[in-house]
Homo-oligomer: A and B are copies of this chain.
Amino acid sequence: MLREEFNIKIKNYDYYDEAFTHASYVNEHPKENLRYYERIEFLGDAVMQLCVSEYLFKRYPNLPEGKLTRLRAAMVCEDSFSKLALECHFDEYIRLGNGEEKANARKRPSLLCDIFESFIGALYQDLGKEVVVDFISRVVFSKLDQGWFDHLLDHKSELQELVQKDGDAKIVYEVLDAVGPDNDRIYTMQVVVNGQVVGQGQGHSKKAAEQAAAHQALKQLR
């Protein structure tokens, strides 16, 4: 399943067995000499921290540390990881003891988050950092482009920092269009840097349309 969906060429299945095994399962199978996920999750947690940090650091070369930290915290958290674990169908692979199964642990966000991290730990041990980066590019970083974390990003400030890096620059936002009734109006705006249109965007408020225009400009200028 994992192999097909993400084209992961597993070398050593033992790491993944460990990553998807809960302590309650180990306790119910004392003779099988199994390991449960917690140690490998310890490793996976640190791997995720570095991969996400490095990605954000390079992708937003002018974003101050405070914003990088907020963005990382939004990406590396239980809410985010538990959703990703479900998206990757990790809940189906977990080996749980009977008691935990009855307590519906399989769908518990804290466990799903742990399992996402332990999977990352297994992938890192088995195939190394590059494969991990490739995997999380598809399942995590792509969410940035889909706007999952846009509320944390201030594209206008970022655009300003980018274009004023090499000296003064004049940035103007202009309304191009406003359609629809008062309570559902959609604005279209463009952003002009030193007389040149660099981006355009829409939104339900002028502020949102400006952010969308700045976002498009950043994509083009980078």
Contact = CB atoms under 8 A, between A and B. Distances in A.
A148 B164 CA distance: 48
A46 interface: yes
A69 B41 CA distance: 11
A43 interface: yes
A167 to B, nearest CB: 9
Interface stretch (A49-57, A83-91, A105-113): A49-57
A42 interface: yes
A69 B57 CA distance: 26
A65 interface: yes
A68 interface: yes
Contact of A65 (B42, B47, B53, B69): B42
Give how many copies assemble into the complex.
Answer: 2
A39 interface: yes
A45 B73 CA distance: 14
A53 B42 CA distance: 7
Interface residues of A, number: 21
A180 interface: no
A38 B57 contact: no
A64 interface: yes
Contact of A46 (B42, B43, B50, B65): B50
A54 B65 contact: no
Interface in A171-188: none
Interface string A186-199: 00000000000000
A50 to B, nearest CB: 4
28 contacts: A38-B64, A38-B65, A39-B57, A39-B63, A39-B64, A39-B65, A39-B68, A41-B65, A42-B53, A42-B57, A42-B65, A42-B68, A42-B72, A43-B53, A43-B54, A43-B57, A45-B53, A46-B46, A46-B49, A46-B50, A46-B52, A46-B53, A46-B54, A47-B50, A49-B49, A49-B50, A50-B50, A129-B129
Given A39-B57, A129-B129, 4 more contacts: A39-B68, A42-B57, A43-B53, A49-B49
